[in-house]
Amino acid sequence: MSQNTPEIDIVLNEDELMAMVDQLAETLAPRLQGEWTAINILIGATPFTSDLMKALARRNIHPVLDALWLESYRDARESSGRVNVRADITRPVTGRGVLLIDDVFDTGRTLAFARQHLMTKGAREVITVALARKPSAPAGPENVDYYAFEAPERFLVGYGMDDRGLYRGLPFVGALD
């Protein structure tokens, strides 16, 4: 790493990530029969969405892909407490199953907001999936439905996750202090 790059501890390397995404697709595939829309929660979920869509396609599962641009952290490492819609989905979801895809489930605000947003638009059912789940995230009915791994209680970067817009392109999941 260059002088200006902070120390980033590797939490999951590329091979571990790919194996986890593949396992998640194997688990999800039986639930995604019929009419489904997969929604990439922008920006952070983009690499995860891309790999999950490919892993589902290998199993002959082809949901419609859409995107919902939500923002609540911007340049901070803590949630602002509000979820702003920067851009909405592009196709109707009335009567369809919706798979909401996010990179990290932390306070749970983003996915709770997105679930309500899609139910209000008439989705038949909404299921949520995140790559990483923080240990302090909500459990019980507010919990994410599926996740690939339990992350350390640290600030994550890489594989879509950012610190002030940086490090989204790292091919691994790392942690900063």
- Binding positions for ligand HPA, rule: CB under 6 A: 73, 104, 106, 155-156, 161-162
Among candidates 65, 74, 132, 76, which has minimal Cα distance to 100? 65
Closest-by-Cβ residue to ligand PRP is 44
Closer to ligand HPA by CB, 5 or 90: give it: 5
Phi-psi region of 117 (alpha: psi -120 to 50; beta: other; left: phi over 0): alpha
Question: CB of 171 within 8 A of CB of 14?
Answer: yes
Sign of CA dihedral 116, 117, 121, 123: negative
Closer to ligand HPA by CB, 57 or 139: give it: 139
Closer to ligand HPA by CB, 123 or 156: give it: 156
Q: Compute the chain's Rg from CA coordinates.
A: 16
Instruction: Select from ligand PRP, ligand HPA, none the partner in contact with residue 155, using the beta carbon and a kind-dependent cut-off of 5 to 8 Å.
Output: ligand HPA
Q: At its nearest, how many Å lie between ligand HPA and the CB of residue 59?
A: 29
By CB under 6 A, name the one of 105, 147, 159, 167 that touches ligand PRP.
105
Nearest 5°: phi and psi at 112? -65, -45
Instruction: Select from ligand PRP, ligand HPA, none the partner in contact with residue 72, using the beta carbon and a kind-dependent cut-off of 5 to 8 Å.
Output: ligand PRP
Decide the pairing of beta strands 173-176 and 155-157. Answer: antiparallel
Residues that bind ligand PRP (CB under 6 A): 41, 43-44, 71-73, 79, 102-110, 162
